[in-house]
Amino acid sequence: MCLTTPQYRQPWEIYVNMEGERFVCEDTDSVDARERALLEQTNMQFWIVYDQAIHEQAPPLSQIWSREKFTASFGTHPNFFTADSIHALAAKSGVAPEALERTVRAFNDGVRTGQDPLGRRHHPLPIAKPPFYAVQNHGTSVKTYAGLAVDTQLRVVDRAGRPIGNLFAAGEVIGGGVLTGNSFCGGMSVTPALTFGRLLGERLLQWRRNTADAAE
């Protein structure tokens, strides 16, 4: 629900893990770098941390929720936390307090000097003005990379690579890895599902027609 894609919204906040440390350069262009960094974090969780000045000046963190609904969630939603100090914020959120204090200090030094520890370029404000805010996030899987093995005619094959009679597959069931390897590529799930599904449908129709013609 929070917008963490820098191509759509440059980050004003920092992202920290349960250990209270930043784990990725928040404004890196690479979705691959961001996703892989998240995979390494405890429970695939992270907290978006910021302060009152950012709360007031940054573009909305959510495109889906109104600013009013977002702000009201700090009193009601179990993943939204606010406190008057970084230490208290961390304690409430389940993040290591001393480490988070260190992390915020280092980030603020970087804002002042222009030398962010992780090389971040966009950091308009330090995190300094209470109250402070944290929004807990976690990674989710939208598809699987493993799937049924198929040959170039989309016939499902056994472990030895032999086609299994009359069994075909296309779409997510053949796994994303076969098309994109070990990387994320936007649109490479729906597009091949539609394309291969159509190709397979046409081919099966043709095969059925040929079989019917041969039988006549």
Task: Give 110's Cβ-side CA count (13 Å radius).
Answer: 19
CA 192/CA 196 separation, integer angstroms: 6
Name which position in 58, 157, 172, 179 contacts ligand FAD (CB under 6 A).
Answer: 172
For ligand FAD, which stretch binds (CB under 6 A), given 103-111, 129-137, 148-156, 189-197? 189-197
Name which position in 97, 130, 131, 171 contacts ligand FAD (CB under 6 A).
Answer: 171
CA distances from 213 to 86, 153, 165, 201 (A): 76, 22, 21, 18
Structure tokens at 70: 């977002």
Cβ proximity to ligand FAD: between 84 and 151 the closer is: 151
Decide: is 143 part of the binding site for ligand FAD (CB under 6 A). yes
Decide: is 160 part of the binding site for ligand FAD (CB under 6 A). no
Decide: is 189 part of the binding site for ligand FAD (CB under 6 A). yes
CA 26/CA 14 separation, integer angstroms: 7
* Cβ at position 198, least distance to ligand FAD in Å: 11
Decide: is 146 part of the binding site for ligand FAD (CB under 6 A). no
Cβ proximity to ligand FAD: between 111 and 188 the closer is: 188
Decide: is 39 part of the binding site for ligand FAD (CB under 6 A). no
Decide: is 190 part of the binding site for ligand FAD (CB under 6 A). yes
What amino acid is encoded at 100 in this protein?
L
* Cβ at position 146, least distance to ligand FAD in Å: 13
Cβ proximity to ligand FAD: between 128 and 179 the closer is: 179
CA 70/CA 86 separation, integer angstroms: 20
CA 14/CA 25 separation, integer angstroms: 9
Tokens 């370029």 correspond to: 121
Decide: is 199 part of the binding site for ligand FAD (CB under 6 A). no
Decide: is 187 part of the binding site for ligand FAD (CB under 6 A). yes
Please list, in sequence order, all residues whose beta carbon lies within 8 angstroms of the beta carbon of residue 25, skipping any fewer than 6 positions away.
Answer: 33, 116, 118, 119, 120
Tokens 């978006």 correspond to: 48
The residue number with the shortest CB distance to ligand FAD is 171
Cα radius of gyration (the chain): 24
* Cβ at position 16, least distance to ligand FAD in Å: 25
Q: How many residues does the chain have?
A: 216
CB 16 within 8 A of CB 100: yes
Decide: is 142 part of the binding site for ligand FAD (CB under 6 A). yes
Residues near ligand FAD, by CB under 6 A: 142-143, 171-173, 186-191, 193
